[in-house]
Amino acid sequence: LSERHASRLTLSMEKRLRLSLLVHNMELETMAMQDDLTQMFNRRYFFERLERELQTARGFQRPLCVLLIDVDRLKAVNDTYGHRAGDEALANFGRFLLSQTRASDVPARIGGDEFAIILPDTSENAAEVMITRIQKALENTDLMDDPSLTLSLGASLGAAGYPWDGDSVDTIMQQADASMYANKLSRKQSAMSAEPADPLAAKVPTVFRKSAESEGC
């Protein structure tokens, strides 16, 4: 081989190696921010992104909202059908949430059965509309792939945002958690008064919104 040809081969090989390394690094970066079960963003990435989004919201004086979503009765599913069915329900719930979000939203799984969505440039009223839409869509969604298992899992939802609930990540998350907890209590009380025959088939009631202040938090 001529020196020129050999040089071209060397450059071509270097480019392929660099491209391969770049792809590998991108895959590692994706894995570092992704939840294995649901393929959504994970807890670490969620809080890093929330801090950046909040800085942007402050800088441009735009609203920012966070939704917290807790899947109810998952323990009953695990106890009745096994953890494999529970994992399947969580994975399908993740796909359900992805179908309900905008391209600008940041959906994540931040705990075992807890999910969150960052809603940039979203007012409190707009967040309420989204909560209602998610609640109604979930009522008509089957989270199990096996047609013989008809589980209708409920979800408790809470919301908080900048600037109406606070201007720090900790404050906003505490307010969202208080809102979700109030919704969970309301749903439990409604379920107890209704006394459904099958607790797994209980429908998700209208989203209950109560601020942390009214809860005494």
Residue for token digits 């809860």?
215
Separation of first and last alpha carbons in the chain: 77
Report in angstroms the alpha-carbon separations of 107 from 96, 165, 175, 179: 11, 20, 18, 18
Q: Is the peptide bond before 163 cis (omega within 30 degrees of 0)?
A: yes
Q: Is 37 left (phi over 0), alpha (psi -120 to 50) or beta?
A: alpha
DSSP state, residue 147: T
Catalytic residue, chosen from 72, 113, 165, 177, is 113
Contact 77, 85 (CB under 8 A): yes
Burial of 32 (0-12, 13-18, 19+ CB in 10 A): exposed
Instruction: Reduce the DSSP state of residue 109 to 3 states and report it.
Output: strand
79 in catalytic set: no
CB contact set of 91 (below 8 Å; sequence gap of 6+): 37, 38, 39
Catalytic residue positions? 113
